[in-house]
Amino acid sequence: MEPRIDTERLVIRPWRDADAPAALTIYGDEEVTRWLTPAMDQVADEPAMRAVLRRWQVGDVAPVSHWAVQERDTRRLVGGVALLRLAPWQDIEIAWQLARTAWGRGYAAEAGEALARWSMHHANVDELFALIGSSNTRAAATAERIGMEWIGETDRYHGQPLELYRLRHDDLAYCETCESDLETDAVAAGQSRGD
């Protein structure tokens, strides 16, 4: 059984080859990819998107992971979230991308917080970072809704000035329901606490 994280409105699960058409509407959209750092070329077509998804599926080594985000009720794919290693350091970045049709609904914060909790409880991640361009006010607001703290501006990771946000395990507001949901999801996926 593949791992998955359920939230009130979303299902967060690994990407599949069959997701290529829906993923292309996200990663083939210049309005989405222009915010990614480092820059990701706009994906041109379904075969190229399928190749990207396969790289994510086989190339990820825990805790690095790429996840699809679906609406729970409709099963419509609306975005992606990821845990990425910030080379050459061992720092872990949390990132989110949504289809434009899903902007403004709070999905990025909901998915981001769920992945942050999962990573800290099941992937032994102690802190997460978000790197955000100074003009990307929507992403900055999302980072704050997740509970991330603005640390300052840095060019440490990608050689360009970016706003740096951080979330530590102890910063997560305790949520008994969230803990219970995460534990249930991990058990359903054949994992145990601390794995």
- pLDDT grade, residue 111 (50/70/90)? very high
Give the DSSP H or E segment for 122: helix 107-122
> Does residue 121 contact residue 164 with C-beta atoms inside 8 Å?
no
What is the H or E stretch that residue 180 is in? helix 176-188
How confident is the model over 51-110, as pLDDT tens digits?
Answer: 999 998 887 777 889 999 999 999 999 999 999 998 777 899 999 999 999 999 999 999
Give, in words, the CATH class of 5-188: alpha beta
Residue with tokens 């790429």: 66
Contact 60, 52 (CB under 8 A): no
Distance CA 117, CA 95 (A): 14
Task: Kindly tell me if the per-residue pLDDT of 135 is higher than 90.
Answer: no
* Beta bridge pairs of residue 132: 163
Query: CA-CA-CA-CA torsion for 127, 132, 138, 144, nearest 10 degrees?
Result: 30
- Percentage of the chain modeled with pLDDT above 90: 58
pLDDT band at residue 39, thresholds of 50, 70 and 90? low
Query: What pTM was computed for the model?
Result: 0.83
